[in-house]
Amino acid sequence: MLNQLKDHALDDRKNFWPVAHWRPEQHEDITPDLCLKVASVQAVIAFAILAFASLASGHEAFARFGSSFALVAMTMFITFYGLMRQGLARLWNRRAATLRAE
């Protein structure tokens, strides 16, 4: 039951949104390069949404956001990359190794 739940979570295409076509086959590993590319795209989109939200909140909110632009961008990228590399990729690669061994 737990393995089925884990497999379902790993196979969810939302993990690779908006670049689901980059998702490797189940028996292939997620490489560090793929983690870097996916995290970069996801961080840029999340950052843009945050920037538009602060702009919609008014000039003062956008000015405060702009003053920490680089820090917010780097924090978002590091968070997305860390989650991808240490979470999803580690579990995915473990399952891929098991599938290749069978």
**CA–CA separation, 81 and 75 (whole Å):** 10
pLDDT tens column, 66-92 = 788 889 899 999 999 999 999 999 999
Tokens 């580690």 belong to residue: 90
Task: Please check the confidence at residue 1 and state whether its pLDDT lies above 80.
Answer: no
How many Cα atoms sit within 13 Å of 7 on the Cβ side?
11
Residue 5 predicted with pLDDT over 90: no
On whether the CB atoms of residues 20 and 13 are closer than 8 A, the answer is yes
8-52 tens-digit pLDDT: 888 888 889 899 999 999 999 999 999 999 999 999 999 999 888
Q: Indicate the pTM of the whole model.
A: 0.85
Q: What is the pLDDT of residue 58?
A: 87
